[in-house]
Chain A
């Protein structure tokens, strides 16, 4: 493999990895606070992509602007989903809660299929074709913006969790649920907020990838699977670990594509996944909920 190929693979892998990281951060937060594995994460991302599509096609609103609407919108939707669907079942067995989110995912994907058919839709703003070259590697502007946006949001959320009261309450609840309750934190509200933030992350990630990807009812699936791998890699509940893990997975996938024939690139990613589970189940960065 030449250095040219390596550089290209590294660049495109890291750019996509940023997006994986954002999606995974949301998932990791939901797991850390609510202890549920949210299978509907990809479906929320898909719905946000459709929203971006409709805002662009009907209202002419640029995807990078409309995410200022889509993000908060899906934060609110996430809170509603948590209150209505998940909260009433929070004492159910863990595997049942998992099935609940899986069922939600199937429902949302098929709802999209019924409403909007299986047609592939695209959002192509004027700058969608823009690209430049670093050394011998091609950098596509929409992918760069997606990665940049993802990192900015993830870091902003990290700051939010560290500095604001709500952020501290979320971390408290994640670390010690009973203690948090005893300290007078409104845990039900914090659970809803955490789920909302997670959904908001997925939604913004969806809006960011729309200019270079396509919109279809099953489009969340590829990101869903990767997000799970990233979350385990980074440590379940470890927010920053998820972001860095995203870069690692993106890079692994891309290098895998260069080294191995075609679709075996997933082998590298899942191989890494299995290795982490075997030797460091709490995640590469530890501090996660490996148990």
Chain B
């Protein structure tokens, strides 16, 4: 018996549906030609300058990878950056992170401010999305057993303790050991973390922290604070601050004839910044900074610097180096995971062992809290108008000048 009209129509519809369903996987595969990565940075607001430097680094790495054929394990899938603006505000960081996660990013990168990071990491953990920290230096960000947070740069503790050790070693070698340290830091999460570490490490390294002064970055005048520092007669002044405030502090310290062996930045946004140095040649000569940096001995680093200069008509900064490295770490993990799936990506990230990078350290490996186990800050000094690496010794490109006579007062 032939099926009647109704059943034939049903059969045709079913066959049509089956045909479409059969075709869908191939459409789906054709569309997995991109991997979405979201970033959240303070693109507008007081840290806009620094955020742009990071963004340039992200862009450079993404374009480099895409023009070299994308992620090979995913059939040449291109990386796409989806933007998010936090304005350095926690609520916006949260909402932007949520929006990007909903838009299907495989990983989130950012957010610069440690305060914003502290809140966003809970959202990324809840949504099982890998969160690659950028610039945020507070130690507590990787605490608490979170599985989806990763940090490539040295954290606050590594930054402070390794820099102070490098300084102590250098001072001892120059027969001018560090006995008294004064510290000024911005009063947010970043500065306070640095202050805590410098204070906590004092007993171990054998120096006394004679003055610890938190300050507000909005202040137009630091004369009173620096007079207090001068009165406590330290051997060294350590400054953890952002661009504008660090500049005014250095200027005022110079005018007050502060009388120390050196002025040292600790993860300072200005003292190893090429723009700051270029704009203030006389002031910045022989300033130290312990900061994240690239490996000056690496040929690949030289190539990356040249590419950045060509594209952005300015010198690559350490913010850009970190951003560039983070993208490559993610790409390496994507290759090993063979998938843009967040959980697979997370597992691949946890097993990272990447030696081909431009940082001054051994291979990038994450410990079980997500910190880069081998992260090393470089000790830099401005010599001849450029910040050069003077420590650790195996990456150094010049000898340090210490004590710095012009700060002697």
Contacts and interface: CB of A to CB of B under 8 A. Distances in A.
Interface in A239-262: 254-255, 257-258, 261-262
Given A113-B44, A262-B215, A120 B243 contact: yes
A2 B231 contact: yes
Given A9-B227, A258-B224, A140 B48 contact: no
Nearest to A143: B221
A223 B187 CA distance: 19
B219 A13 contact: no
Nearest to B195: A262
B45 interface: yes
Contacts of A218: 45-46
Contacts of B243: 120
Task: Tell me what chain A mostly uses at the interface: helix, strand, loop, or mixed.
Answer: helix
A265 B224 contact: yes
B182 to A, nearest CB: 12
B223 interface: yes
B49 A118 contact: yes
B224 A254 contact: yes
Interface string B225-256: 10110010000000000011001100110111
Given A213-B248, A254-B223, A113 B213 contact: no
B66 interface: no
A12 B224 contact: yes
Most buried by A among B222, B227, B247: B227
Contacts of A258: 224, 227-228
A12 B280 CA distance: 23
A118 B52 contact: yes
Contact of A110 (B44, B220, B255): B44
A5 interface: yes
A131 interface: yes
B247 A138 contact: no
A216 B223 contact: no
B29 interface: no
A213 B223 contact: no
A138 B256 contact: yes
B102 interface: no
A9 B214 CA distance: 17
Contacts of B47: 118
B216 interface: yes
B218 interface: yes
Contacts, number: 104
A136 to B, nearest CB: 9
A140 B44 contact: no
A130 to B, nearest CB: 9
A263 interface: yes
B231 A263 contact: no
B228 A5 contact: yes
A209 interface: yes
A89 to B, nearest CB: 27
A214 B247 contact: yes
A175 interface: no
B279 interface: yes
Contact of A222 (B44, B212, B218, B251): B218
A12 B220 contact: no
A8 interface: yes
Contact of A214 (B213, B228, B244, B256): B244
Q: Which of B52, B225, B247: most chain A CB closer than 10 A?
A: B225
A101 interface: no
B195 to A, nearest CB: 10
Interface of B: 44-52, 184, 187, 212-216, 218-225, 227-228, 231, 243-244, 247-248, 251-252, 254-256, 275, 279-280
7 contacts: A5-B224, A117-B52, A118-B50, A138-B255, A213-B248, A262-B213, A265-B219
Given A8-B227, A118-B44, 13 more contacts: A8-B223, A8-B224, A9-B223, A16-B220, A113-B44, A129-B254, A131-B255, A138-B223, A214-B244, A216-B49, A218-B45, A223-B220, A258-B228
Which 3 residue pairs of A and B lie closest in terms of their CB atoms, listed nearest first? A118-B48, A257-B224, A12-B223
